Amino acid sequence: MFNMESPSGLRGLTLLSLLLLPSLASAAALDLRDPVPAGYASPPYYPAPYGGWVSDWSSAYGKAVALVSRMTVAEKVNITAGTGMYMQLFFQGRCVGNSGSAPRVGFPQLCLQDGPLGVRTTDNITAFPAGITTGATWSKDLMHQRGVAMGEEFRGKGVNFYLGPSVGALGRQPRGGRNWEGFGSDPVLQAVAGAATIKGVQEQGVISTLKHYIANEQEIYRMYNPLQQAYSANIDDRTLHELYLWPFAEGVRAGTGAVMTAYNAVNGSACSQNAYLINGVLKDELGFQGLVMTDWLAQISGVASALAGLDMSMPGDTFGNNIPLLGYSNWMYELTRSVLNGSVPVDRLNDMATRVVAAWYKMGQDAADYPLPNFSSNTADRVGPLYPGALISPSGVVNEYVNVQANHKTVAKQVAQEAITLLKNDNSFLPITTSAPLFVFGTDAQADSNGINSCTDKTCNRGLLGMGWGSGSANYPYLDDPISSLKRKAANVTYYNTDSFPTVAAAKTGDVAIVFISSDSGENSYTVENNHGDRDASGLSAWHNGDALVQKAAAAYSNVVVVVHTVGPIIMEPWINLPSVKSVLVAHLPGQEAGDSLTEVLFGQVSPSGHLPYSIPVSESDYPASVSIKTSPTLSQIQDTYSEGLYIDYRHLNKAGVKPRFAFGHGLSYTSFSFSNATISRTGGQLSSTPPARPAKPVSPVAAISTSLPAAADAYYPTGFNKIWRYLSRGPRGGGASGGNPALWDVAYTLSVTVTNKGTTASGKAVAQAYVQFPAASSNGGFDTPVIQLRDFAKSATLAPGKSATLQLQLTRKDVSVWDTKTQNWIVPSPGGRYGVWIGQASDDLSVVCYTDTLACVIGAQSPV
């Protein structure tokens, strides 16, 4: 989402565009674009499917249809758009998005609020660990618990829509600015964590908003502006389904009430009005019943976006072709006009309004005890204008400072701690004792001395890096920084709060140096140390000369521990093999609980149990050029073609036979685990190559809402204008229910494996990762597939030395299918063929395999990686 809480949020290209706009906003500028590469096209897909035909939404739709049937056109229009950014900037609106209401029939204004890791721009909340940190826990339970806690906080502040989770960016581009808001560079890791978050949040009655649909993989040039079109991500159908759409399908299946479109285009068509993506893929194939909203100021048309399936415009103003500050809207009064003149059929408006109202009923927000917003995202003052947008407004209380933290710091700390990933630990150097003399280096060890929230939206990398920057950030209520925690626990701590290595006394035997380094990224609305959201300036290197700091510490001390706070992979080659660098811990982006979560690991109170949610390559050039950040010297539309197809992150490295420094899924413990007694069983008999036919699509109750126009005098159809028949009677084969054909989630294979703590001293938690290896293309219907692909994972409870646990893993029909572009269906190309299910502790540490043909498992097998 774009930043609009304060005038300072408008910066860089955005502000420039606004200033240049009056003279330069011409259609001609917007028309400039390079041709979309041959073969890539976004096919038309009309009409927009109605919601209301999936059974678990029936009750909500029943009530919504009844309410919308009583609404006038003006009321329906009012609830499909925000009341505008203008109010946000100068009149202190409560939330980052505020929809119009229909008070006559009792439908309230709804509050939409960032962001994925906590309630943004307010106080008395918890700053949870970021998505990438959550992914690194590999704990389904913690993913859900964090969602529950966040849901409680959004609800407590009176928020209707949680603007998260983010599963797009998926993490295709290692430098991508917002990868950290999601859960890792793998569709299944994103899907599991995203769905668990959605469930946790929505169980509290808050509508989750799955975003950004789709392919918002880089930040630079993401937005349409008066001078240039947003980049086009050109993606083939199979890659879309098997990678980028996968977590959206799981999120829809988990019941997300809303989906937010991305700023960018796909195949040359803007995501906010891409009929194929919204009407076709999302609403028809995935059977999405909730509402589709734009990212902030992403809407670039009125009629076209309505017909393409968009249901809500946020924050309500125009941008791509007009100035957002003057109160113009592509919808609102223009949508009324479009309905009255027949360009947008009444039933489309009915469906838009019903989707909004149905999501509200589905989460139970009609209950009398659902709080109204009790904070202002624009001011920390207690008193402000009561009626944002009005030129003259009485003042009143706008911040009640409701404390919503409860005991959420416990789950926040648990996530931060279980994410900590031990990459290297020579001779079991860690854990260390609290009596060791500690010499701590790096500004990243201590909270920003200018104040923990001194940079708007965390737009500086000063002091400890607990989250990236932009709309995905939140205020810290407090920050438990590592240096304070170290000083609390250790007997002898010397801290050098600098990133340039100082002069130090000669090291003594037993001295330990702990070096803190970081790498930051964020949203393109801000530039930080020349990085325009993406890490375009820093690349994958540690910021602030972190490599030199580690090298110099390694020259002065013979025992060095490196702690990395980072948004994604950093290249560690300048120091990883130095003999003094004994141990490396990646603490990701820990949020407010950065201190004790880390030091308890350093001092051995708990073993680290995080695993990398991405690969750490030896060199960035180990990846194909197609996943680099795209820029263009001209104002034409950037064409970002996903020519690498399915081959991103470990899928690429394995195919190319390139060893990373640390593989996807890697993570050490203070103990070691063995895997034994693996079993596989077929559930429900031999698979057929295609899933059972999708269930029939029932008639939607939305069809029953009157489509008559209010009064002849107010409406006209141009002569000869053809009104299109707008009801879909059958859907795509891949569809059938929320997420797609329900048979895709039939459990095909159930596996179990026993993990045993082989150590004698430390307790720890084991993670079992299950990767599928499809039969070779020659016996797989010609479908080329990545060597291995993550399909499921499980984390054990804490195991004392010698103790075992049995972990269960599952493969669904979809997990052993490929997307067949010809039949537009998920198929199992060789149902009786030999799929290997590889189980282990990392994508390059797989020693157990179970075969789907013989149903035999082998321990100590030679992994394909």
- Pick from 2, 49, 75, 780: which binds ligand NAG (CB under 6 A)? 75
- Spatial distance between the Cα atoms of 637 and 34, rounded to a whole number of angstroms: 6
- Pick from 242, 499, 511, 523: which binds ligand NAG (CB under 6 A)? 511
**CB nearer to ligand NAG: pick between 390 and 555:** 390
855 makes contact with ligand NAG (CB under 6 A): no
512 within 8 A of 436, measured Cβ to Cβ = yes
Coil vs helix vs strand at 154:
helix
- Spatial distance between the Cα atoms of 522 and 178, rounded to a whole number of angstroms: 5
Integer CA distances (angstroms), 607 to 488, 541, 604, 751, 799, in order? 20, 27, 6, 26, 10
Least separation, in Å, of the C-beta of 34 and ligand NAG? Answer: 16
718 makes contact with ligand NAG (CB under 6 A): yes
184 makes contact with ligand NAG (CB under 6 A): no
131 makes contact with ligand NAG (CB under 6 A): no
Phi-psi region of 781 (alpha: psi -120 to 50; beta: other; left: phi over 0): left
**CB nearer to ligand NAG: pick between 343 and 421:** 343
Least separation, in Å, of the C-beta of 719 and ligand NAG? Answer: 11
**CB nearer to ligand NAG: pick between 370 and 429:** 370
Residues 6+ apart with CB under 8 A from 487: 493, 495
679 makes contact with ligand NAG (CB under 6 A): yes
824 makes contact with ligand NAG (CB under 6 A): no
Encoded one letter per residue, x for contact with ligand NAG by CB under 6 A and - for no contact, window 735-764 reads -----------------x-x----------
- Pick from 34, 141, 237, 784: which binds ligand NAG (CB under 6 A)? 237
- Pick from 372, 383, 390, 699: which binds ligand NAG (CB under 6 A)? 372
- Window contacting ligand NAG (CB under 6 A); options: 367-375, 560-568, 612-620, 784-792: 367-375
Q: Kindly calculate the radius of gyration of the chain based on its CA atoms and give it in whole angstroms.
A: 27
Least separation, in Å, of the C-beta of 724 and ligand NAG? Answer: 13
**CB nearer to ligand NAG: pick between 372 and 693:** 372
Q: Partners of 375 in the beta sheet?
A: none
639 makes contact with ligand NAG (CB under 6 A): no
**CB nearer to ligand NAG: pick between 180 and 213:** 213
Q: What angle do CA 814, 205, 85 make, to 5 degrees?
A: 95
Pairing of strands 111-113, 161-162: parallel
74 makes contact with ligand NAG (CB under 6 A): yes
- State the number of CA atoms in the 13 A half-sphere of 781 facing the CB: 18
DSSP summary character for residue 281: I
Give CA torsion, residues 35, 38, 42, 43, to 10 deg: 130
Q: Partners of 795 in the beta sheet?
A: 767
What distance, in Å, lies between the first and last C-alpha atoms of the chain? 39
334 makes contact with ligand NAG (CB under 6 A): yes
55 makes contact with ligand NAG (CB under 6 A): no
**CB nearer to ligand NAG: pick between 719 and 778:** 719
732 makes contact with ligand NAG (CB under 6 A): no
Q: What is the 3-state secondary structure (H, E, C) of 49-75?
A: CCCCCCHHHHHHHHHHHHHHHCCCHHH
Coil vs helix vs strand at 397:
strand
- How many amino acids of this chain bind ligand NAG (CB under 6 A)? 51
**CB nearer to ligand NAG: pick between 34 and 622:** 34
42 makes contact with ligand NAG (CB under 6 A): yes
Residues 6+ apart with CB under 8 A from 151: 162, 200, 201, 202, 203, 204, 205, 206
Helix intervals (H) in 163-302: 187-202, 237-239, 246-253, 275
- Window contacting ligand NAG (CB under 6 A); options: 23-31, 54-62, 335-343, 561-569: 335-343
Residues 6+ apart with CB under 8 A from 469: 455, 457, 458, 459, 460, 520, 521, 522, 523, 526, 528
102 makes contact with ligand NAG (CB under 6 A): yes
**CB nearer to ligand NAG: pick between 326 and 372:** 372
822 makes contact with ligand NAG (CB under 6 A): no
Q: Partners of 223 in the beta sheet?
A: none
Encoded one letter per residue, x for contact with ligand NAG by CB under 6 A and - for no contact, window 412-441 reads -------------------------x----
- Pick from 23, 28, 38, 39: which binds ligand NAG (CB under 6 A)? 39
**CB nearer to ligand NAG: pick between 58 and 804:** 804
Residue 268 token pair: 């040359």
664 makes contact with ligand NAG (CB under 6 A): no
374 makes contact with ligand NAG (CB under 6 A): yes
- Pick from 337, 655, 659, 834: which binds ligand NAG (CB under 6 A)? 337
DSSP summary character for residue 443: G
Encoded one letter per residue, x for contact with ligand NAG by CB under 6 A and - for no contact, window 141-160 reads ---------------x-x--
Q: Looking at the annotation, which residues are catalytic? A: 295
Q: Which residue in the block uniquely carries the two structure tokens 């509290």?
A: 204
217 within 8 A of 173, measured Cβ to Cβ = yes
The answer to whether the bond into 482 is cis (omega within 30° of 0) is: no
- Window contacting ligand NAG (CB under 6 A); options: 13-21, 100-108, 130-138, 582-590: 100-108
41 makes contact with ligand NAG (CB under 6 A): yes
- Spatial distance between the Cα atoms of 160 and 170, rounded to a whole number of angstroms: 26
644 makes contact with ligand NAG (CB under 6 A): no
- Pick from 58, 341, 497, 628: which binds ligand NAG (CB under 6 A)? 341
**CB nearer to ligand NAG: pick between 83 and 863:** 83
Encoded one letter per residue, x for contact with ligand NAG by CB under 6 A and - for no contact, window 585-624 reads ----------------------------------------
- Spatial distance between the Cα atoms of 650 and 408, rounded to a whole number of angstroms: 34
Q: Please spell the DSSP secondary structure of 347-391, one letter per residue.
A: HHHHHHHHHHHHHHHHTTTTSTTSPPP-S-SS--SSEEESSTT-S
Integer CA distances (angstroms), 49 to 4, 262, 275, 276, 578, in order? 32, 20, 11, 12, 60
- Spatial distance between the Cα atoms of 133 and 187, rounded to a whole number of angstroms: 16
Site for ligand NAG in 463-502 (CB under 6 A): 477, 492
- Window contacting ligand NAG (CB under 6 A); options: 58-66, 336-344, 727-735, 811-819: 336-344
Return residues touching ligand NAG (CB under 6 A): 39-42, 74-75, 78, 83, 100-103, 109, 123-124, 156, 158, 235-237, 240, 266-267, 276-277, 302-303, 334, 337-338, 341, 343, 371-372, 374, 380, 400-403, 437, 477, 492, 508, 511, 677, 679, 718, 752, 754, 806
